[in-house]
Amino acid sequence: MRRSIPTLLLPLVLAACGGGATPNPNPNPNPTPVNQIRARIVACPLVNQSSDPAASACLAGTYSGKTLSGADCSLVVQANGDYTFTSPALSTTYVASDRTIRVFGHQNVGGMHQVIWLIGDPIQSGDSYDLDFKYADGLGRTLEIEATKRPAAGGTLSSTCTAVLN
């Protein structure tokens, strides 16, 4: 499956589908300092539409912020693409498999970094989960993470976690 990825002025986007839910009401108590998060994103390899799992391993770490209501939230990303999103409204865990489709790209345009990471399973039964991870390097350096659960029975439940990286 090939996806076309726009390469100009794109925020960091992580989209993940699939996985199972694991309730965990407590965000990670040891988040990565914000200056290290920006450095980690900027240090990602400069590649375009790579499906190599090693390309996105640079995103491994803990991201923390606040929900729209001001509650603590976090995202923990493993080097292999597994992740755990935790907020009071929604907690999910995604485990990458041999069916997982990955697309990763990173460009540095005039000192502004654009990174895209898409990850998901093409065939999923039961509940499905999406995660959008957006980082805008030149626009206040805001990191926005939105997790969404789509139960097999219908409907959606989502939670947004935002951090400002200076």
- Tens of pLDDT, residue by residue over 12-67, are 333 333 333 333 444 444 556 667 777 888 888 999 989 898 998 998 988 889 99
Measure the CA–CA gap between 86 and 67, rounded to whole angstroms. 10
pLDDT of 76 > 60? The answer is: yes
DSSP string across 86-119: E-SS-EEEE---TT-EEEEEEEEETTEEEEEEEE
pLDDT of residue 3: 37
Give the CA count within 13 Å in the CB-facing half-sphere of 116: 18
Measuring CA to CA, how many Å separate 22 from each of 46, 57, 93, 114? Answer: 34, 23, 6, 31
pLDDT of residue 124: 67
pLDDT of residue 19: 36
pLDDT of residue 86: 96
Return the ∠ at Cα 22 (arms to 20 and 24), rounded to 5°: 155
pLDDT of residue 163: 81
Domain ranges in the chain are: 13-164
Q: Please give the helix or strand (H or E) that residue 131 lies within, else none.
A: strand 128-136
Measure the CA–CA gap between 62 and 161, rounded to whole angstroms. 13
For the residues 84-102, what does the mean pLDDT come to? 87
